[in-house]
Structure 1
């Protein structure tokens, strides 16, 4: 239930309706849009919203949905109920094409597995819809591809048209012979040819020679310089043509009457099929409008609730879009704790826009329309919406503005309850301020007692006090920039707003003495209170900014902590692995040593301690010891050796000499043309494994260049930060990007940054989701990918995962 009768006009919903009508393909959808109505049934609203959301996905992701030939043939179906009636040829053609469209839509929605359909709510609409392939085939036997009656629609029609063709041919020959004779005698101009008048073939003749040609004069030109004569030789033949044409018409009517008789038993099911086509047209129009205003299907609650994040007035959005301006979004919350919001603030500060946004979006949702707000919003259901906006003054009923407001309030009091939403603009205005404020407070108290929900705008201080002192009611303020002296159009819930009357008066240029005298009249308490409200509003904005900064900083610290903990865990794991490997090698080395010693002792014993053999065995053992010592040194003292090598003074090496020395494991290098430093971990053939910070990458040796000590010192400071940034960047990198809905240049810019990051982070494969649509966005992106050196190949995703709507890119 909504109040008053012109509720839709008050919240400008009629304009929304007209936008949707503009998106309809036929009178079928337009009629449904005109009959669109408010509902308080949760299940019904949920179904409507889901249907529209599913169609939004079809518009974004599908190219094959049938959207041609939405013809409204229902008036013809009603006429066909009368026995003996026939169907018009053009209507039959429209019936055939629209039946084909219904068949194609049903096939589209039923193409998926019944247990897991892609569009379940839209598929459910097809349950009782009958398709008519046999009827389409029968119509094709009557009409050709252009909607004309076929010659072979019946045997009789074929015979009649054969006679017509033959008779027309003989008339044409006779007329041409007569015309040639007349031309040779100079009675008719050389360039004249036979023409048609009243369905009869005639010859154009100069009036001076009309007696020279025997026949019937049928017409003359507007100028009187030409008369049209039917020669007597073809009169009978022309009469025969008229008879055959009448016979042809009667046969066509017989064929169409016969088809109407065939059609009549199907009329009830056909009516259901065209109701389905109307519903699809309506849902499609709603979906197209949703895309126009960036609307979504919000999470819906089966209770009175309004928890909206960045809600936007759709008409304001469309208007500002043309002016290249942005709408300030609305954040608003009404729940069981704070049911009634009292909005105060300066004139022209956006109070009424907030009120209309709340009313319009709630009404749109309960009419089954998607609305523009963020996904983390929550939308409830109200049984009633009552609105009191504007001047209802009436001369006929002798009602003043205030009286009309009181009439509305009387209706609200009688009918409101815990499932009602009240929208009241300038509550209590229109009469003497003190009594108006008192009555407004009394009404507000009763609305609160009845646990109604509401958004109310006011300038009255007593209503602001009431909101501070009573549960269920909360203040809200429209923010105002005191320095720039202009409204911010932002709603801040929790504190009352100031009217900024003094500041606005000064900005307009009212004399200072007038302002001072006005301040004395209202008293210092009132002025100070207004200042306190302004200070509270200013302080609140300041602390909100600080809170946001702290929240962002805390989040960043948590991310860094997680990153360093992850790095520490990785280091500990690597440390354990290295120690285990070292232990295993040591045990193996010790085993080999024991075996070697035993072999040496055995050789000495077998040779019975011959001096030369003993010397040889000892030499072999000593060589093995040296090898073991070297191996042990490499494992145990590698860190000490590295330090000695690093701190040992080196002879300067020229750049040319440095470039000629082959790259080796441990060299500090960078990719040619890049600044990020890395260390070679190993070299395999013509490729090297290089550690750039925490990231390992396989790079061709020809792409690397050694970094000298001087360069290393200069860039070590830069690289220490770069490693952390690269690591953090890789942690946060997502291998998918969605550019659907972007303009071509926006999408291309986003893809360029995305591919650059992927190459820099050594990502092997990424996916670009652009949708199918017209294919223009896909072409732009792929044209760019062809120019990128780091791209190895690209192509369509597997059909199961998106097909041509997604481009998969493999990087070098």
Structure 2
């Protein structure tokens, strides 16, 4: 049940219908929106409608580029076709063909199997199809390829009957063409002769009037041409003559055209006879096209408003997370504003939400948002809400919003309100949703509040779910006592005196009546007088309530920020742990590879030395062979040097070989003879290997500190380190500062005084003058208020660079308070600038949080 009759208008669903109809491409879709979109109370029906929408969206994503949305409303011509000897005109028949082609294409895709092969017809259970919900809807709808082929055979691509539709039509049109050409030839001859005689102008050509070809002539010369005067122009300055020579031919054309029309009607009647037995089935296919047109419009609307298909609970549940009112969202976006999403979620044991708060604070918007989204959901439509929403299904929805007074029915505002309350109390149940705005208002507050409390108690007893807005204090207290009701508040910024349009569930809200009266400017005497009437206790309780709401909001924001930072910290730690593990793995792999390479090289060196010794022995110290072996070993040594490998092991091997050779010579009694050339060569090579420097060990990484003199690697100009920030250093070269990575610097000796002066003068005089002039006119303050984020970021970047270059100690950035977004953007940027020492709020007397003071190194 939906109550009252104007329910859709109250929550804005009439506008949803209008927007949907505007996105339909044919009257089929608009008729579906008007007649078929309705409130459903069964969970299975709602889920089925949403599943069909989801499957149609997937279908369009895959086949949308190949899909032609030919949705034509041919229902009336089809219904008239039921009478015998009737037929459809060519445009209607052409529309029918294109509509059936669209229907056939959709049926083919929907009936395709899960494997994705849409060329094979499949049958069976829903699980065997790619789009089971749509297949279930269309399984009894027929396709009509024979009718499409028949229409294709008689109509061309422009929707006109083809010449080849029948032999009689082909013959008739051929005769018509021949006769028309002969008439044209005769008329051109007559016109040429009349032009030579001067009866008509040179630019005159034959004219078709009433289906007959004629010659336009001036009235004074109409008797110069033999023929029949058929018509004259509106001005009377031209008459149209049918020459006698073409009268018979024109009559023949009329006869042929009549014969052509009779043959076309016969062909159309013959085609209608083929269509007539299937009219009911074709209307079903056309009705599915109407549904497809509606789904197309719904898909377009949902993409515009951010609608999704949520998880739908079976029972009556209110659970909307990050929900938007779609119409309000579209309206705000047109004006460049952003809507604040609402979280409206109730626990199982708390099924009535009582919302309080200031006027114009968003209570009615919250109420209408919940009502509209619930109604859209139960009409089978996606809703603009978060994916973690899990709303339920209600059997009845009752609404009481706005003034329903009626002069004709002798009803006041409050009388109408009571009648609606009476209807709700009579028909509500545990599966009903009540939406009541300004509960109890319209009469004397004390009795109105008492009646409202009694009605609310009846709703609690009936177990009805509801969202109710009120200002009455007694209802807030009643909600605090009842476990089934929970208070909610629309938040309000007490300092800036403006609503935040955010719903907070758990505590009642304040009406902020006294604060709003002060903001508007009512005299203080009036405000004090009102405060005395209601009493100090009431005023203080209202103030305490505001403080509670403010503090809760503060700590909730604090908790969310801390949770967010904890998640960021956990992500960062996990990232670094992963990277550390990867680095450790790479280090082990490199060490293992280095050990393997070193072992292979040592084996190769040992083998090379043994081969050299063997060659020297076999050659018996011949000079050429010894020299050749020495060269081979020298080449191998060069290879070792190029790979930067230690030669200690090889040197020891060579020294042992040399000593063995000496002992061998002494054993043979080589009396004072010179050492053989091979031994000398081997000794020289051993000496050279000893002299070969070992693999250079990288120097220990120099740790720089503030005040050290450094230069850029590969250059000689010295500079002094002014500041070190992590792996970056701010270095002063003469008069210019440069921020460089530490690994690009190397130690340099401290320059002498004359060297410092010499270095300091490399900046040209023109540059120094320009810097001095800029420093004179530089203002250490910038105003960012009113700028967009990208504009503000560009402006602050240039401003900070200038301040650092001109060595300013302080700078002030005026960004205002507002929402705090601009202040956060400025401070995030300042945190990335190495030249910034610290930044903080200005003193409260000079602007407080609206100004950021920046101190530089």
Q: Shorter-chain-normalised TM-score: which range?
A: 0.7 to 0.9
What corresponds to 2:160 in structure 1?
148
- 1:94 & 1:252 partners in 2: Cα distance? 17
Q: 1:431 aligns with which of 443, 448, 468?
A: 443
- 2:601 & 2:68 partners in 1: Cα distance? 79
What corresponds to 2:139 in structure 1?
127
- 2:443 & 2:701 partners in 1: Cα distance? 94
Q: Which secondary structure state, in structure 1, belongs to the residue aligned with residue 154 of structure 2?
A: coil
Deviation at 1:583, TM superposition (A): 11
Q: Which secondary structure state, in structure 2, belongs to the residue aligned with residue 474 of structure 1?
A: strand
Deviation at 1:44, TM superposition (A): 1.8
**Contact 2:404-2:416 at 8 Å conserved across structures:** yes
What corresponds to 1:90 in structure 2?
91
Q: Which secondary structure state, in structure 1, belongs to the residue aligned with residue 201 of structure 2?
A: coil
Q: Which secondary structure state, in structure 2, belongs to the residue aligned with residue 378 of structure 1?
A: coil
Output one character per residue of 1:605-638: Cα deviation in whole Å (capped at 9) or x when no partner.
xx99x9799xxxxxx9xx99xx9xx9xx99xxx9
Where relative contact order (Cα < 8 A, 6+ residues apart) is larger, the structure is 1
**Contact 1:304-1:419 at 8 Å conserved across structures:** yes
Change (3 A) 1:710 1:129: farther
Deviation at 1:553, TM superposition (A): 3.2
Q: What does 1:438-457 align with in structure 2 at a 5 Å threshold? A: 438-457=450-469
What corresponds to 1:351 in structure 2?
363
- 1:341 & 1:588 partners in 2: Cα distance? 80
Asked if 1:541 corresponds to 2:585, the answer is: no
Output one character per residue of 1:83-113: Cα deviation in whole Å (capped at 9) or x when no partner.
1111111111111222222233334445525
**Contact 2:322-2:342 at 8 Å conserved across structures:** yes
- 2:159 & 2:601 partners in 1: Cα distance? 95
Q: Which secondary structure state, in structure 1, belongs to the residue aligned with residue 380 of structure 2?
A: coil
- 1:669 & 1:520 partners in 2: Cα distance? 66
Change (3 A) 1:162 1:455: same
Deviation at 1:567, TM superposition (A): 6.3
Provide the aligned length of Structure 1 versus Structure 2: 668
- 2:11 & 2:273 partners in 1: Cα distance? 50
Q: What does 1:324-723 align with in structure 2 at a 5 Å threshold? A: 324-563=336-575, 566=578, 655-656=713-714, 707-709=745-747
Q: Which secondary structure state, in structure 2, belongs to the residue aligned with residue 381 of structure 1?
A: coil
**Contact 2:72-2:96 at 8 Å conserved across structures:** yes
What corresponds to 2:624 in structure 1?
none
- 1:676 & 1:305 partners in 2: Cα distance? 61
Change (3 A) 1:647 1:512: closer
Change (3 A) 1:173 1:552: closer
- 1:158 & 1:3 partners in 2: Cα distance? 65
What corresponds to 1:6 in structure 2?
6
- 2:182 & 2:703 partners in 1: Cα distance? 116
Q: Which secondary structure state, in structure 2, belongs to the residue aligned with residue 211 of structure 1?
A: helix
**Contact 2:3-2:397 at 8 Å conserved across structures:** yes
RMSD value over aligned CA atoms? 4.4
What corresponds to 2:799 in structure 1?
none
Change (3 A) 1:655 1:188: closer
Asked if 1:202 corresponds to 2:214, the answer is: yes
Change (3 A) 1:77 1:645: closer
- 2:742 & 2:59 partners in 1: Cα distance? 49
- 2:195 & 2:592 partners in 1: Cα distance? 117
- 2:576 & 2:238 partners in 1: Cα distance? 102
What corresponds to 2:100 in structure 1?
99
Deviation at 1:138, TM superposition (A): 1.5
Asked if 1:182 corresponds to 2:194, the answer is: yes
What corresponds to 2:67 in structure 1?
66
- 1:388 & 1:151 partners in 2: Cα distance? 67
Q: What does 1:11-22 align with in structure 2 at a 5 Å threshold? A: 11-22=11-22
Q: What does 1:761-800 align with in structure 2 at a 5 Å threshold? A: none
Deviation at 1:570, TM superposition (A): 6.4
- 2:271 & 2:32 partners in 1: Cα distance? 30
Change (3 A) 1:488 1:225: same
Q: Which secondary structure state, in structure 1, belongs to the residue aligned with residue 195 of structure 2?
A: helix
What corresponds to 2:40 in structure 1?
39
**Contact 1:65-1:108 at 8 Å conserved across structures:** no
Change (3 A) 1:82 1:585: closer
- 2:742 & 2:33 partners in 1: Cα distance? 65
- 2:442 & 2:364 partners in 1: Cα distance? 16
**Contact 1:423-1:456 at 8 Å conserved across structures:** yes
**Contact 1:304-1:335 at 8 Å conserved across structures:** no
What corresponds to 1:756 in structure 2?
none
Asked if 1:23 corresponds to 2:60, the answer is: no
Change (3 A) 1:286 1:193: same
Q: Which secondary structure state, in structure 2, belongs to the residue aligned with residue 219 of structure 1?
A: strand
- 2:340 & 2:602 partners in 1: Cα distance? 77
- 2:163 & 2:698 partners in 1: Cα distance? 99
What corresponds to 1:248 in structure 2?
260
- 1:139 & 1:581 partners in 2: Cα distance? 77
**Contact 2:713-2:745 at 8 Å conserved across structures:** no
Change (3 A) 1:653 1:489: closer
- 1:578 & 1:180 partners in 2: Cα distance? 101
- State the TM-score, normalizing by the size of structure 1: 0.73
Q: Which secondary structure state, in structure 2, belongs to the residue aligned with residue 67 of structure 1?
A: coil
- 2:315 & 2:331 partners in 1: Cα distance? 33
What corresponds to 1:694 in structure 2?
none
Q: Which secondary structure state, in structure 1, belongs to the residue aligned with residue 503 of structure 2?
A: strand
- 1:155 & 1:532 partners in 2: Cα distance? 96
**Contact 2:712-2:746 at 8 Å conserved across structures:** no
Deviation at 1:216, TM superposition (A): 2.4
Q: Which secondary structure state, in structure 1, belongs to the residue aligned with residue 343 of structure 2?
A: strand
Q: Which moved more, 1:397-406 or 1:286-295?
A: 397-406
Change (3 A) 1:144 1:566: closer
What corresponds to 1:51 in structure 2?
52
**Contact 1:669-1:707 at 8 Å conserved across structures:** no
What corresponds to 1:760 in structure 2?
none
Q: Which moved more, 1:131-140 or 1:103-112?
A: 103-112
Output one character per residue of 1:394-424: Cα deviation in whole Å (capped at 9) or x when no partner.
1222111111111111111111112111000
What corresponds to 1:218 in structure 2?
230
Deviation at 1:270, TM superposition (A): 1.3
Asked if 1:303 corresponds to 2:315, the answer is: yes
Deviation at 1:191, TM superposition (A): 2.3
Q: Which moved more, 1:557-566 or 1:285-294?
A: 557-566
**Contact 1:56-1:288 at 8 Å conserved across structures:** no
Output one character per residue of 1:322-378: Cα deviation in whole Å (capped at 9) or x when no partner.
111111111111231221111111111111111111101111111111111221222
**Contact 2:492-2:500 at 8 Å conserved across structures:** yes
Q: Which secondary structure state, in structure 2, belongs to the residue aligned with residue 445 of structure 1?
A: helix
- 2:208 & 2:304 partners in 1: Cα distance? 53
- 1:309 & 1:153 partners in 2: Cα distance? 62
- State the TM-score, normalizing by the size of structure 2: 0.69
- 1:134 & 1:151 partners in 2: Cα distance? 21
**Contact 2:709-2:748 at 8 Å conserved across structures:** no
- 1:185 & 1:571 partners in 2: Cα distance? 106
